Chain A
Amino acid sequence: MSRAEFSYDFPHRHLVSVADLNPVDIQIIFERAAHHLAANRTPDKRSDVLRGLTVLNLFFEASTRTQGSFEMAGKRLGADVVNFAMANSSASKGESLSDTARTLAAMKPDIMVVRHSATGAPQFLAERTGLSVVNAGDGMHEHPTQALLDSFTLSQRWGEVGGRRILIVGDILHSRVARSNIGLLNILGAEIRLCAPPTLLPSDVDQWGCDVFHDLDEALTGCDAVMALRQQRERMSGGFVPSEREFFHLFGLTHERLEAASPDVLVMHPGPMNRGVEIHTKLADDPEKSVILDQVESGVAVRMAILELIGANIRKEAVA
């Protein structure tokens, strides 16, 4: 059933978790993202659908690409974008998160884009401030825009993500990207495989609706796409694998190993990438297989779609 056959508008004022989305919401996001993707390739990128709205980029963890991507998305839609680098701010002077939230809310922004090292921080800020919140990564919990841009990148190539076999390999235990992707790909009906050493898998992973592997060659068999994840050293305590080279020998993606996968397999990575650890440098740069830069491009388009859809709902509420 296409969307034209019934009346349904994107209902959300926040994007905190992929679990809040249904397949139609995702379709709406992808349609708008496709529009922006095309527009971003022209010299005439700028629109003013968000004119008058202020987007606050609130990054309690260091980020360059995600923050830049959101900033570019907001600016291309005509919003006023303000970056707060919270890593060296009042939070480090002992202010509680609720006080920070109230202070920032008093400046009357409209949308807060939040990254925080603690699971649940975006939800917490949404509840305390009443503002629209977009989760740009909370601890090891969720990174919904990354999952959306990953599936959008694949849908641009394939049309449909449902029914495809997708492998996520690497540090799944510490990865919010993996958690959001598993949630979203399940909603979209893809077949999900996970591959990692047992030390880098959550203990209840067999309940996640995925097939779990410890042998990469076996896991790659017949895969349509494979996503490599880096080891999140900043979230690790003690050693989970003996060395980077052992990890590469056992779990690193190479051209040879991809021969077990589908001939048109696509290789993805959310970045930042550690060449020679989770992916062979030649594979990362292979334009036939790697869609890593497409993911970055899709990122801006998907974030534009989300800000635009949320912005429209903010205006609707203001009118009401």
Chain B
Amino acid sequence: MSTTRAIINARLVDPASGQDGPGGVLIEGGIIAQIGTELDLDAADEIIDARGCILAPALIDLRCAKEPALTPDGETVDTLCAAAMSGGFGTIVLAPNARSPLDKADGFAGMSRGLAQRGVRMLSACGATQGLAGEQMAEIGLMVRGGAVYAGCGDRPIRDTRLMRRLLSYTSQFDVWLSCRPADSDLSADAVALESDWSARVGIPSEPAVSERIAIERDAALAELSGGKLMIDRLSTAAGLDALRHVRGRDLEIAATVAIAHLTLNEVDAGGLDSAFRMDPPLRSEADRMALVEAVTSGEIDAVISDHRPTPFDDKGEPFALAIAGTLSLETLLGAMLGLVHDDELSLLDALRVLTSGPADLLGLPQGRVAVGAPADLILIDGDKPWVCQPDGFASARGNSAWSGRRFQGRVLQTIVAGDTLYNP
């Protein structure tokens, strides 16, 4: 990209530097060349007047999924990319899951190169164990050489403590995060809900919140022993948050992510047993949700993730307790997050930090910030524009959304990656 573009008169919000004020950027060769209110506009081939709009770094998602290639009507790389662009994402990471374990070293480098050809920066994590079965290590070293940005355990925790120790130890030599769902395998076996008044009354298999706390304490102890980097994948309870605070006092590298569903929904949303609200981890109590939002403000959460999960049937085809877990969320994440800002639960800077510089710093990425020399991955947002979530209008190939019918305030106007506008409805 050789043209020089300027974006002026915006409200520039950059969590990395803490800046929130009038400003703009000058983009040269896909890189941010100047920042501020006094840009050298003579050099610009194009000037975008962003009066009344928020200019922020493009969002980064550490955990999303497509469907296996050739799945009829499935979420492909193309539809996933389109969903990411319209959601304001400049960088997304494919994470392993049972349908797409990303555990084969053969062809991994080729896949990474293919993903890099898309407008949105698509990266891939790798599966940490063969078939994500939690029994044998996958060829993590070869996949990291092939471009994997972290190793993930998928949806299920690693039950075998000795294997977890070895995984943390083995991944430490590559300086990559091992991302693992914090749950005790036996306490959480077959659970589809939190152990609570509601789940007891409706009689569905449930897990106690301490399951998360036990797992975090175990895995943190192993990370301390082995020197590995532990990423708590989808923290969801206040009990887990207590454990995180407790272990952070020790000498270990630990990061925590929270899925947007657990920041904005709770078990009451699932009260009607609508399969759309079947999540993994299950939706928690309102007290848990509020504790997680406060932890975003206090900086204890490193990244908020979409955990975007297309499923074969829009209504999931089965009743709540049998339904596939997960929801689409790339296209609704920003709207849901801005909802917390409008409700005064979060500041805009804190809300954007866990979606930009937070995840970028975990992976050592140069983007996710408005800084001279950084890649020009940016979004323009109308922070107040009202809209209604209608999955029929999604760029995603599927329609399973937990936010279907919700009213949002705030929408992406443009998604810019490496200086190119990819999305401009």
Contact = CB atoms under 8 A, between A and B. Distances in A.
A249 B141 contact: yes
Contacts, number: 48
Interface string A175-200: 00000000000000000000001110
Given A238-B162, A246-B105, A249-B145, A198 B139 contact: no
A199 B139 contact: no
Contacts of B166: 199, 238-240
B390 interface: no
Contacts of A249: 141-142, 145
Nearest to A198: B169
Given A198-B170, A198-B173, A199-B170, A242 B141 contact: yes
B226 A198 contact: yes
A250 interface: yes
Given A238-B163, A238-B166, A198 B140 contact: no
Chain B contact surface mostly: helix
B185 interface: no
A235 to B, nearest CB: 15
Contacts of A215: 173
Give chain A's interface residue range (CB within 8 Å of chain B).
10 to 19
Contacts of A239: 136-137, 163, 166
A250 B173 CA distance: 11
A238 B134 CA distance: 12
Interface string A204-240: 0000000000110000000000000000000000111
Contacts of B170: 197-199, 240-242
Contact of A242 (B140, B173, B227): B140
A203 B225 CA distance: 9
B116 to A, nearest CB: 22
A214 B173 contact: yes
A243 interface: yes
Contacts of B169: 197-199
B146 to A, nearest CB: 11
A203 B169 CA distance: 10
B172 A246 contact: no
Nearest to B174: A214
Interface string B169-210: 110110000000000000000000000000000000000000
Interface string B218-255: 00000001110000000000000000000000000000
Nearest to B128: A242
Contact of A243 (B139, B163, B173, B227): B139
B172 A242 contact: no
A172 to B, nearest CB: 13
A242 B136 contact: yes
B130 to A, nearest CB: 8
A242 B138 contact: yes
Contacts of B173: 197-198, 214-215
Contacts of B163: 238-239
A239 B135 CA distance: 9
A215 B145 CA distance: 13
Contacts of B139: 242-243, 245-246
A229 B242 CA distance: 45
A250 B141 contact: yes
A241 B145 contact: no
Contacts of A199: 166, 169-170
A240 B169 CA distance: 10
Contacts of B130: 242
Interface in B363-409: none
Nearest to A237: B162
A203 B222 CA distance: 12
Contacts of B145: 249
A246 B146 CA distance: 12
A238 B163 CA distance: 8
Nearest to B225: A203
A198 B136 contact: no
A246 B151 CA distance: 16
A6 to B, nearest CB: 48
Contacts of A240: 166, 170
B253 to A, nearest CB: 14
Most buried by B among A203, A240, A250: A250
Interface string B297-338: 000000000000000000000000000000000000000000
Interface in B121-175: 130, 136-142, 145, 162-163, 166, 169-170, 172-173
B162 A198 contact: no
Contacts of B136: 239, 242
Contacts of A242: 130, 136-141, 170
A-B interface, 4 closest residue pairs, ranked by CB to CB distance from nearest? A214-B173, A242-B137, A198-B169, A242-B139
11 contacts: A197-B173, A198-B169, A198-B173, A198-B226, A199-B169, A214-B172, A238-B162, A242-B136, A242-B140, A249-B141, A249-B142
Interface of B: 105, 130, 136-142, 145, 162-163, 166, 169-170, 172-173, 225-227
Interface of A: 197-199, 203, 214-215, 238-243, 245-246, 249-250
